[in-house]
Amino acid sequence: MTERVRVAVLGAGGRMGATVCRAVEEAPDLELVARLGQDDDVAALAGRADVAVDFTVPSVTEANVHALLDAGVHAVVGTTGWDADALERVADHAARVEGLGVLVAPNFALSAVLAMELAARAARWFESVEVVELHHPDKVDAPSGTAVATARHIAAARREAGLGPAPDATQTQLDGARGAVVDGVHVHAVRLRGLVAHEEILLGNPGEQLTIRTDSFDRVSFMPGVLLAVRNVARRPGLTVGLEHLLDLA
C-alpha cells in the first residue's frame, strides 16, 4: 500500500481551514496530521507533515510559507494579499531549498479559474471591461484576490493587443464611486450577507455585452482544487502561481 500524504492545515479553525480539514479527512490517500491556529508553531511541522495548506490572513501568510520551507514542508496557499515582491521572495527561497514546492492560488474553484481564463481570452476583443466581485461581509480584504488577479490578466491581454484605456468620461465623482483601479481595470467590491464568493467580468462593445460570472455557493467548491494542489505540489519544485497550471489551461 502507498503511504498517505501527511497534511497540516494552517488557519484550521477558520471558514476555509475547517472545510479543508474535513476534505482531507475524507480523502483516502491523505492523512490530516495537524490543525494549526494563531498561536501554533509552524516549525514544529518539520518531519511531521509533507504538505501544509494555508488559509490564514494576508498579514501572516508569507511568513508562514518561509517557515514551511525552512521546515522542509511543501506549501499550498489560498490566502490572499500576495504581491509581486512577496511572490519573488518566496520563489527565491524555494529555489534555495531544493525539491520543495509552493503553490499559491487566488481561487481554487474550477468555475473561478475558468472565468479568469475566459476573461483574459476575451479581453482583447472588447473596448470596455470592469470587474465586480461580491462576497460575504466577514471578508477582511477588498478587492478580492481573485478580482485583483482577474484584472491583472485582463490588463496584460489588453496591453499585448495594443489596447489603450477603456473609455470613461467621468469628470467628477464621489470617492470610490468608480471602484479601485488595478492595472487600469476598474474593480468593484460588494459585501452582502448571504453571499459566499462571486465575480462578474463585464465586457462591452458598441451594441453588445459579454458577462462572465462565477458563483461559489458553498466552500466545498474550493475543495477539488485544494486537494489537486495537495496531491501535486511535491511534483512542482519552486513557486507555482495559479491552479490553471495543474489544469492544463496555462
φ, ψ dihedrals at 53, nearest 5°: -110, 125
Least distance to ligand NDP, CB of residue 209, Å? 27
| Active-site residue, 153 included | no
Residues 229 and 236: beta-carbon distance below 8 Å:
no
Which of 106, 179, 225, 242 touches ligand LZUJQKHR (CB under 6 A)? 106
User: With binding defined as CB under 6 A, does residue 145 bind ligand LZUJQKHR?
Assistant: yes
126 is in an annotated binding site: no
CA distances from residue 159 to 48, 186, 210, 222 in whole angstroms, order as listed? 46, 15, 20, 31
CA dist 247 and 114 (Å) reads: 10
12 is in an annotated binding site: yes
Q: Which of 74, 93, 135, 198 is catalytic?
A: 135
DSSP assigned state of 226: H
Which of 56, 80, 150, 240 touches ligand LZUJQKHR (CB under 6 A)? 80
Nearer to ligand LZUJQKHR, 48 or 213 (CB): 213
205 is in an annotated binding site: no
User: With binding defined as CB under 6 A, does residue 214 bind ligand LZUJQKHR?
Assistant: no
**Which residues, in sequence order, are CB contacts of 122 under 8 Å at separation 6+?**
201, 203, 210, 212
CA angle at 51 for the pair 107 and 65, rounded to the nearest 5°: 70
**Three cell numbers, residue 108:** 481554487
Q: Which stretch binds ligand LZUJQKHR (CB under 6 A): 39-47, 85-93, 142-150, 185-193?
A: 142-150
14 is in an annotated binding site: yes
| Active-site residue, 135 included | yes
**Which residues, in sequence order, are CB contacts of 57 under 8 Å at separation 6+?**
11, 79, 81, 140
Which residue type, as a one-letter code, is found at position 187? Answer: V
Nearer to ligand LZUJQKHR, 93 or 222 (CB): 222
**Three cell numbers, residue 23:** 476534505
Q: Which residues are annotated binding-site positions for (S)-2,3,4,5-tetrahydrodipicolinate?
A: 136, 145-146
- Catalytic annotation, residues: 135, 139
- Point out which residues bind ligand LZUJQKHR (CB under 6 A): 80, 106-107, 135, 139, 144-146, 197
